[in-house]
Structure 1
Amino acid sequence: MGFKLENTAPNTARTNVRKENSTSILQKEISLFGSAFSNKKKEDFYTEIHVLLKAGVNLKDALALIQENQKKEKQQLFFKEMVDALVAGKPFSEVIKDKKEFTEYEYYSLKIGEETGTTAKIAEELGKFFARKNDQRRNVVNALTYPIIILVTAILVVIFMLRLVVPMFQDIFTQNGVELPGITKFIISASDFIRDYGWWVVIVILVLIFSRSFYSKNDWYKEKKDSILLKTPYVGNFIKAVYMAQFTQAVTLLTASKVPVLNSIDLVAKMIDFRPLKNALKQVSIQVMAGNSLSESLKSNKIFDHRMISLMKVAEETNQTEFIFERLNQQYAIEVQQKSKLLSTLLEPLIILIVGILVGVILIAMYLPMFKLGSVLG
């Protein structure tokens, strides 16, 4: 995204911005689909705000520059409302609070930045926060994309065999009156089901996919889905590591801004979308308010591992909470990268093995009666 920096006030600001332009972040355009900010857009937004503030551009002009570079009218209107609110005398944090696209976590972070005169630094940290969050999401997508492609291809191959290959054998067996073994009868029943109800199954799957935006907002659905994910072998630990990395990074940012740990946990609990961790953080907050130490409160929830509990005990004894959370975040980030690579490595051969077994079972089921057919013809 290229800013027209010649429209800003000081020459020194222009010079500094030209240096910052080497980051290439500013070459990307922020685009709003409807009225929502994705994490990727937030990463770009906060990074650009930081660069402009650091270059000496005031906040109003920074938002105005971003507004000018929007191509769609809705996008321009979104930022114009923010600029108008600033001109009317509202603090930046209050402007953010009034926009449903932003969270309480962002609001309180920026409010602290305004009170301490570190808005540029907070914007930088928020940009890094969403950058890491996006990286973690990409790790998940990269780990699952190829295995999912293989799985879909495998399902199509099996459906092809059941729908076209098996009926040909079935006709031969029927014409010659061959007695079928149990496994062959089962495969033929599966073929008949695909023939009679296959399109209905496809329609139901498509309806579930397209209606996901409706039922995914249901608390019961979220609780069940996240609970099943957490209990899934290996995948559960991987998903947990992703959210633990987000949790520790968010608390690191807030504690660095001198927000009390208890308040940080409350804010992060509102931001985290993984129900087992969200519920655990709420319980931790209640226990800390009741007089328990943070390490003891974490210990009572199974989702927190021994590493975190032990380091929290050290943090309480040494008053190094910010440092400990930062170290934990680095460890979880590395764990996410390692687990994503291993997950992809494990899933690919596993899916191929399952496909091979399914195809083998179908072939065996079809060829077993052929031996009886040979004896009948002989």
Structure 2
Amino acid sequence: MSDQRLWRYLAENASGEIERGEILATGSAQAMQLLAARGVVAVEVTELATAGRSRTGGRLTTAQVADFTEDLAELLGAALPIHEALASLAEGAGKRTLREFILRLEASVRSGRALSEAMKSDPARPPRTLVAMTAAGEESGQLAATLSDLALKLRADQALRRDLAGQLAYPAVLVCFIYLTLVFLAFFVLPQFETVFADAVVEPPPETRFVIAAGGFLRSYAIWIPVGIVGLVWLARVILARIPILASRIRRAVPIVGPALWRLDAAAYARTLGVLVRAGLPVNRAESVARDVVGDPGMRNGMSRAADRIRAGIALSSALDEQNILPDDLIRQVRLGEETGDLDKFLLRTADRYERMARTRLSRALELLGPVLVAILGACVAGVIASVMSGVLSLNDAVF
């Protein structure tokens, strides 16, 4: 479907009503044939754009995936056929990327392919979780319920990320304000005193010399310091990506934040695995998909080794316990779920608890970070003023 293009059509249906919309086809003739297969007669077909040439490069955002999943689940729950549900979603899609994705799926489904197969080969590359959940829903005959469960998970993930991003905004603004304050002092305040100390016979005290040197450094490299910090962060990520085990240990060693992020990864794994198992997917297939949502590379490597043990016939709880990558209480819940046959319920309940715990810890850490940054700002300004005044007093002592 790489040569398909997007066509805008004007057509007349069996009742004589005029329909307008968009359709994917390799040419105008195929567009008319596809419209005829729907039971409408094309009046006008005009090429709109080449499919896939959207501003986002054809990739779907997390919000678009969540919207699509939720809306499709609702339409399928209303007993609408898949191709009609997709056609309806395409008409209401606001973003071109999402609209083209839905139109490609609709064309594939009308040609006789399964929805999951169409998703798997689509150039928009939807998340593996969506593809796996769709396949599980098709196998079980409960596609609407399966997609509804996935939509709830995606919305919960969105809400969590939105909350954390909102809480990070205030500390980020404070960090920028601290830097801008130091730049202001370096450019507009310290130069007035540097001329005084330069003409003085007596050398200023060490703290004054340090502040003056720091001000000169900021004036020379103020623009490049943020660039250097971003570069160092990028370099650190590249290096740590090559040593995932060490990266995981460093990440977990960060006070408060490390354990909270570890539990968030464990919660994401447990929730995805629980949703897939509830949809009827076998544990070995569900585990390979759930592994993709984990951000910790060391944890993913451990899960890959555990997957090999699962394929060898070892129980999920035992395989994960051998790797020592997940919290002990999560392993216990998995074992209880395997023993009772309610693995999905135990996993989802544990994921809810972990998310609440992690959100609480991160919120407290971010709430504490604000006053700490304000104190740092005050200490920087007070330190500059105290150092300058110390130098001025040293000049007075030399004179008198």
TM-score by length of 1: 0.82
Contact residue 139 and residue 340 of structure 1 kept, 8 A:
no
Shift of residue 117, structure 1, vs aligned partner = 0.6
Mark the structure with the bigger radius of gyration: 2
For 2:177, which of 153, 157, 172 is the aligned residue?
153
Which residue type is aligned with residue 367 of structure 1? M
Q: Secondary structure at the match of 1:365?
A: helix
Which residue type is aligned with residue 37 of structure 1? L
The CA RMSD over aligned residues, in Å, is 2.9
1:136 to 1:73, Cα distance in 2 relative to 1, 3 A: closer
Q: What's 1:329 paired with?
A: 351
> Which structure ranks higher in relative contact order (CA pairs < 8 Å, sequence separation ≥ 6)?
1
Structure 1, unpaired ranges of 5+: 1-6, 8-30
1:346 correspondence with 2:368: yes
Q: What's 1:36 paired with?
A: 59
Structure with more of its chain in strand, by fraction: 2
Q: 2-side partners of 1:70 and 1:310: how far apart? A: 44
Q: What's 1:28 paired with?
A: none
Q: 1-side partners of 2:299 and 2:240: how far apart? A: 17
1:79 correspondence with 2:79: no
1:259 correspondence with 2:278: no
Q: What's 2:19 paired with?
A: none
Shift of residue 348, structure 1, vs aligned partner = 0.7
- State the percentage of identical aligned residues: 22
For 1:117, which of 131, 141, 150 is the aligned residue?
141
Q: Secondary structure at the match of 2:222?
A: helix
Contact residue 178 and residue 369 of structure 1 kept, 8 A:
no
Q: 2-side partners of 1:327 and 1:359: how far apart? A: 49
1:63 correspondence with 2:86: yes
Q: 1-side partners of 2:215 and 2:114: how far apart? A: 66
Q: Deviations over 1:109-159 (max 9, x none)?
A: 211111111010111011111111111211221221111111111121122
Q: Deviations over 1:290-332 (max 9, x none)?
A: 5544334333444412221232333343333222102101101
Moved more, 264-273 or 285-294: 285-294
Moved more, 106-115 or 70-79: 70-79
Structure with more of its chain in helix, by fraction: 1
1:227 to 1:137, Cα distance in 2 relative to 1, 3 A: farther
TM-score by length of 2: 0.78
Counterparts of 1:199-218 in structure 2, within 5 Å, are 199-204=223-228
Counterparts of 1:275-290 in structure 2, within 5 Å, are 275-290=297-312
Q: 1-side partners of 2:101 and 2:338: how far apart? A: 44
Q: Secondary structure at the match of 1:273?
A: coil
Q: 2-side partners of 1:324 and 1:307: how far apart? A: 11
Contact residue 110 and residue 122 of structure 1 kept, 8 A:
yes
